[in-house]
Amino acid sequence: MPIRMGQAMSLHVVVIGAGIVGAATAIELLRDGHRVTILEPDAPGGPQAASFGNGAWLSPASVVPMSMPGLWKKVPGYLFDPLGPLTIRWSALPRLAPWLLRFIAAGATVPKVEATARALAALLGDAPARHQALAAEAGLSDLIEQRGLLYAYPDRAAFEAEALAWRLRRDNGIGWRELDGPALRDFEPTLDPRYGFGVLVEAGAHCVDPGAYVAGLVRHAERLGAVRVVALATGFDMSHGRLKAVRSGQGDIACDRAVIAAGIHSKPLAALAGDRVSLASERGYHVVVSDPEVSPRTPVMPSDGKMANTPTIGGLRASGQVELAGIHAAPNWKRADVLLKHLLTTYPALPRVVPEARLSRWMGHRPSTPDGLPVIGPASGCTDVLHAFGHGHVGLASGPITGRLVADLIGGAAPSRPLIPYRPDRFR
């Protein structure tokens, strides 16, 4: 990999976290000629990681925030329906209340969600191309496929009922092809006939094995010279506003800069660096049917299920649900069964009862801010520490651009995107 010219000086950077953001950041830093240590206690791409179990979509169209006008009216329903697409556990409500109030406020008006969509579009617009380039460089091209992403509706009226969401996409440069009736059946014959209208975002792509992809990127970083330390980051040694070392379970690691890219575990580290970040786990679930009887042409999001149905190496994966319950609460596997029920009704060729031996279920933690935007930028208490976390539903897609933005900041180059929307101090 060529080293970028004009690098002011080579620094030793500790990247805390080996998820998609940490892996992409490490590769970009190595490209710039820096020395990199990746600090991660678990196997990269393993089932503990958000990237392992997500919907696997690399979608420029994912600019619509979770919080939209009128959301506050639905909060009581989220509390009383434990199996709805978004639910809040009563036991977690007192602790989550400040996050929830910010979450509702973030989508209270159309101008607010328009601003959020613009900020997300800046991270997602070229996501498929960035992943294709990164995968090719790492010898992982077979894991990224661009066949488009399909949104399926019962009819055009159901599509038009989501007019604001699609206007946000159109306003941010997202085009699509409409498939009405026979055209939808010709394009995706595996779908249940109740879907009579589709929207194909041809610029979208997906990853057929996100866990293996992230693990492969970390191996690529190691081939380029990164050192991986298997330990948990516990804090920082700072003096007079400058970073001296990252503290870990294996001792201190002397360094010039550090990047917090530890996903849901980033919040306490950010606090040690001077930033009280509003971060919660939007717990997501998936179910995978191995050896499926259907081979969908492209990933599909049915409007009635609001989950991502994605062909992967392991089988047909249905991913989705948002459960606000904290990091340590036990999984509610009934939520994965809801996904399975939707999957079986979306694809009639699947058996009505799938043997347990062909099913796998997963639950993981999306690191989510209430305004739906990641935290990217220097820490308030020490500019030698940089934040790169909180990507919520778009972590996999926006990993490569985040890595490039962080590397630019460390190298003293002007970032290619305005970073004000993602600033760490916005939660004060």
Integer-rounded Cα Rg, in Å, for the chain is 21
Q: Do residues 254 and 244 lie in contact, with contact meaning Cβ atoms separated by under 8 Å?
A: yes
- The CATH number of 1-63+123-140+206-279+372-428, from 3.20.20.70, 1.20.1260.10, 3.90.76.10, 3.50.50.60, is 3.50.50.60
Q: What is the pLDDT of residue 371?
A: 97
| Number of separate helices (H) and strands (E) present in the chain | 13, 21
Task: Give the global pTM.
Answer: 0.95
pLDDT for 314: 97
Nearest to 289 by CA among 349, 343, 363, 212: 343
CB 9 within 8 A of CB 29: no
Domain residue ranges in the chain: 1-63+123-140+206-279+372-428, 70-106+280-368, 149-202
| DSSP state, residue 398 | H
Predicted confidence (pLDDT) at residue 131 exceeds the cutoff of 50 = yes
Three-state SS sequence of 69-109: CCHHHHHHHHHHCCCCCEEECHHHHHHHHHHHHHHHHHCCC
- Cα distance between residue 17 and residue 154, in whole Å: 42
Lowest mean pLDDT among 82-91, 103-112, 227-236: 82-91
Query: Which residues are paired to 97 by β-bridges?
Result: none
Number of residues assigned to the chain = 428
pLDDT in tens, 51-85: 899 999 999 999 999 999 998 787 777 777 777 77
**Mean pLDDT across the stretch 135-148?**
98
Contact in structure between 139 and 220 (CB atoms under 8 Å) = yes
End-to-end CA distance of the chain: 41
Q: What is the CATH number of domain 70-106+280-368?
A: 3.30.9
What number of other Cβ atoms are within 10 A of residue 358's Cβ? 13
Using the structure block, give the residue that is written with the tokens 């929207």: 199
Distances (CA, A) of 110 to 106, 115, 164, 420: 10, 9, 9, 20
- Strand segments (E) across 119-262: 144-145, 149-153, 177-180, 197-201, 205-207, 227-229, 233-239, 242-248, 253-254, 257-260
Among all chains, which residue has been given the structure tokens 């989705």? 320
> CA torsion angle for 182, 183, 189, 190 (degrees, to 10)?
-110
Tell me the average pLDDT across 346-352. Answer: 96
Contacts of 29 (CB under 8 A, 6+ apart): 13, 15, 36, 403, 406, 407, 410
If you average pLDDT over residues 145-170, what whole number do you get? 98
The residue-averaged pLDDT of 121-145 equals 98
Q: What is the mean pLDDT of residues 330-345?
A: 95
Stretch 329-337: mean pLDDT, rounded? 94
pLDDT at position 8 is 54
Q: Write down the pLDDT at residue 3.
A: 46
Angle at 38 between CA 263 and CA 129, to 5 degrees: 65
Amino acid, single-letter form, for residue 169? R
pLDDT digits (tens, 9 = 90+) for 378-408: 999 999 999 999 999 999 999 999 999 999 9
Give the other-Cβ count within 10 Å of 67's Cβ: 20
Q: What is the pLDDT at residue 72?
A: 77
Q: Give the pLDDT confidence of 3-53 residue by residue, as tens digits.
A: 454 445 899 999 999 999 999 999 999 999 999 999 999 999 999 999 899
